[in-house]
Homo-oligomer: A and B are copies of this chain.
Amino acid sequence: MSSSALTTTSYAILGLLAIKPWSTYELAQQMDRSLGRIWPRAQSKLYEEPKKLVAFGLACASEEQVGQRPRTVYSITSKGRRALAAWLHDPGAGPVLEFEQLLKIFFAENGTRADAMANLAAMREWAQARSTESLAIGRAYLDERGPFPHRLAQLELTSRFLTDFYALVGDWAHWASQIVETWPDEPGRAQPDLTVIEETVRRAAATAEADAQRAIQHGDAS
């Protein structure tokens, strides 16, 4: 009885069930390959959450046999569809970022320059690997081989975000590497570059005032 209320994770699963019925293993796969990029959860969670959905009447489980072994396939109920719609009605929470590599740059003065450079190299590799994935998925859709083509209108929005995020990570790491390269051996003695701050302030200002700017450009300033 892990009763309590439904979490975002529950709704993430429910959203998948709204596409089609899945076995738990398939759900886990899906989580691993696609959903996990925006809502990462461990495999084992995927075996628990659907039970909660069933307890709430939002999904139903059907037992199948594969060899001697039972498997559970979950489908959404109409109550489940209503719950999903209700969830979509309130705006969600903003992004939460957990970024260990960046943390290590933040504290870089306690290590060596080489440490920081290696860390940045790992970031670039990460960005490349993720981009390669995105690329393969995008190409599959261009070849009309992508799964659930009827969801493409939504998918093309989210995959653009992810692609741009990976590009941001890669570009930033590349930019930062060029700076860290010029640091002395002990990063604690590195000198700041005020023009970097100035440019950062300019960019922050642009985003902070973005809506106002756009409104003015469209001529509907108050």
Q: A160 to B192, alpha carbons, bound, how many Å? A: 13
Chain A interface residue bracket vs B: 35 or more
Do most interface residues of chain A lie in helix, strand or loop, or is the interface mixed? helix
Chain-B contact segment, one of A46-54, A57-65, A67-75, A150-158: A150-158
- A141 and B197 form a contact (CB under 8 A): yes
For this chain, the copies found in one complex come to 2
Cβ B8 vs Cβ A103 within 8 A: yes
Docked CA distance A93–B138 (Å)? 25
Residues of B contacting A132 with CB < 8 Å?
204, 208
82-113 of chain A: CB within 8 A of chain B: 84-85, 87-89, 91-112
Residues of B within 8 A of A121 (CB): 91
A158 contacts across to B, CB distance below 8 A: 102, 105-106
Which residues from chain B contact A40 at a C-beta distance below 8 Å? 96-98
